[in-house]
Chain A
Amino acid sequence: MTVILVSSDNQDFKVDKEVAERSILIKNMLEDVGESDSPIPLPNVTAAVLTKVIEYCEHHRNDPIQVPEETDDPRKRSNDIEEWDMKFMQVDQEMLFEIILAANYLDIKPLLDVGCKTVANIIKGKTPEEIRKAFNIVNDFTPEEEAQIKKENEWAEDR
Chain B
Amino acid sequence: MHNRQHPQQHVFIPSDEPLDYRDVALHFSWFLDKRTLLACLRVSRSWFAALEPCLWHSFTLQRDLPDPASLHQPHQATQQRQQGRTVFHPRRYPTLGSLQRNARHIARLRFFGELPLLKVLVPHLNQLRYLEVTRFTDEVKQLLQQNTATLHTLILRADPLIPGDTIIIDMIWHRLLDFTALRVLELNGAIVSDYEGIKFGLICHKLTSLSLIDSKLLERPRSEEEFPRLRTLVLERSFLPKEDQTPLFELCPGLENFTWRSRTGKLSTFKFLVFLNAGRGEALSGLDLSGSQITDSDLASIIRLLPGLTKLRACSSLFGSEATRAITEMRHHQIQELILLQCPEFGPTYAQEVLRTCSRLRVFSAPAVNAADMAQLRWSCTGIEELDICIAGTRRLLAPMVPRHRGIYSQLAVLTNLRVLRLGEVTDMEEGPFLLDLKVHSGLGLLSTLGRLEVLDCEKLKPVMEFFDLQWVVRNWGSLKRLVGSVHPNFEQRDLSNEFLVSQLPALETYLTQAEYALALAGK
Contacts and interface: CB of A to CB of B under 8 A. Distances in A.
Interface of A: 44, 70-71, 74-75, 77, 79, 97, 100-101, 104-105, 112-113, 116-117, 119-121, 123-128, 131-132, 137-141, 146, 149-150, 152-159
Nearest to A94: B16
25 contacts: A44-B14, A71-B108, A71-B184, A100-B18, A104-B21, A104-B23, A112-B27, A116-B27, A120-B32, A121-B31, A124-B33, A124-B36, A125-B35, A132-B43, A137-B43, A137-B44, A140-B45, A141-B45, A150-B38, A153-B41, A153-B98, A155-B91, A156-B94, A157-B92, A159-B524
Interface stretch (B53-61, B273-281, B335-343, B429-437): B53-61
A155 B32 contact: no
A71 B153 contact: yes
A101 to B, nearest CB: 6
A149 B37 CA distance: 12
Interface of B: 1, 14, 16-18, 21, 23-24, 27-28, 30-45, 47-48, 55, 57-58, 60, 89, 91-95, 98, 107-108, 129-130, 152-153, 184, 524
A116 B39 contact: no
Contacts of A128: 39-40, 42-43
B33 to A, nearest CB: 7
B32 A124 contact: yes
A158 to B, nearest CB: 6
B18 A132 contact: no
Given A104-B18, A132-B44, A139-B44, A155 B38 contact: no
Contacts of A104: 18, 21, 23-24
B92 A154 contact: yes
B24 A101 contact: yes
A44 B130 CA distance: 34
Contacts of A141: 42, 44-45, 48
- Name the 8 nearest CB pairs between A and B, nearest first: A120-B31, A128-B42, A155-B92, A116-B28, A71-B130, A74-B30, A116-B27, A100-B18
A127 B39 contact: yes
Nearest to B55: A156
B57 A74 contact: yes
Contacts of A117: 31
A66 to B, nearest CB: 13
Given A100-B18, A155-B92, A138 B44 contact: yes
Nearest to B17: A97
Nearest to B47: A137
B31 A153 contact: no
Nearest to A117: B31
Contacts of A131: 39-40, 43
Nearest to A103: B24
Contacts of B152: 70-71
Contacts of B27: 112-113, 116
Given A97-B16, A116-B27, A74 B38 contact: no
Contacts of B35: 125, 157
Contacts of B153: 71
B42 A149 contact: yes
Nearest to B131: A71
A116 B31 contact: yes
A109 B307 CA distance: 32
Nearest to A72: B30
Nearest to B29: A74
Given A128-B43, A141-B42, A116 B30 contact: yes
A97 to B, nearest CB: 5
B94 A155 contact: yes
A100 B24 contact: yes
A146 B42 contact: yes
A140 B45 CA distance: 6
A101 B23 CA distance: 10
Given A70-B129, A71-B184, A116 B24 contact: yes
A101 B43 contact: no
Nearest to B150: A70
A91 B47 CA distance: 23
Given A116-B27, A137-B47, 6 more contacts: A101-B14, A101-B16, A132-B44, A153-B94, A156-B94, A159-B60
Contacts of B36: 120, 123-126
Contacts of A152: 94-95, 98
A44 B21 CA distance: 14
